[in-house]
Amino acid sequence: MEALKERIRREGRVLPGNIIKVDGFLNHRVDMKFMHEMAKEFARYFEGRGVTAVMTVEASGIPIASACADEMGVPLIFAKKAKSDNIEGGLFRSEVFSYTYKKKVTLIVSSEWLNGDDCVLVIDDFLANGEAMRGLIDIIREAGAKLAGVGIAVEKGFQGGGDRLRTMGIDLYSLAIIERAEPGNIAFRE
């Protein structure tokens, strides 16, 4: 998606540890009009797959996933990283290593909101090593639900998570794939 690549070129910065900082429009201060533009592209790509829910991980994936769920007219389910008192009943869980926070976290989804009748589209803001996506896919499979595919706003191609998912046969659609990220130089896969 050229508009996303242009925003990253214009507003993005590369921080130590290959962190791509685009929090001025994607995942801290959020440009919702732009989220809906990206959501329309995901809806176009995944059209006709029978999606019954969009799923993401809290917290930074929620804006883009919300826009997608709204665009597709389905509910949003987000995996929590900690059990709260308002979650009842059975839980689906998957332990993943968070690249951003450099620690293991357990993703949790209530069995009340996900079952074998669902066809789930996973949407997230970033894909690095693919651990969060692996965790969400594990939860979807544990629930007996079908995976419609995975949509990512920004894939860090140089970290290999996307390639691992594609090798597993998962339909992964990334709006922008960054091949190289150095201060002042972000190069995209064409």
Domain that holds residue 99: 2-188
pTM above 0.85, yes or no: yes
Q: pLDDT tens-digit profile of 136-154?
A: 999 999 999 999 999 999 9
Q: pLDDT tens-digit profile of 2-60?
A: 999 999 999 999 998 788 999 999 999 999 999 999 999 999 999 999 999 999 999 89
pLDDT computed for residue 84 by the predictor:
62
Closest CA to 1 of 176, 123, 171, 156: 176
Compute the average pLDDT of residues 72-97.
84
Average pLDDT over the chain, rounded to whole? Answer: 93
Question: How far apart are alpha carbons 58 and 76 in whole angstroms?
Answer: 11
* CATH at 155: 3.40.50.2020
Compute the average pLDDT of residues 160-174.
97
Number of domains in the chain: 1
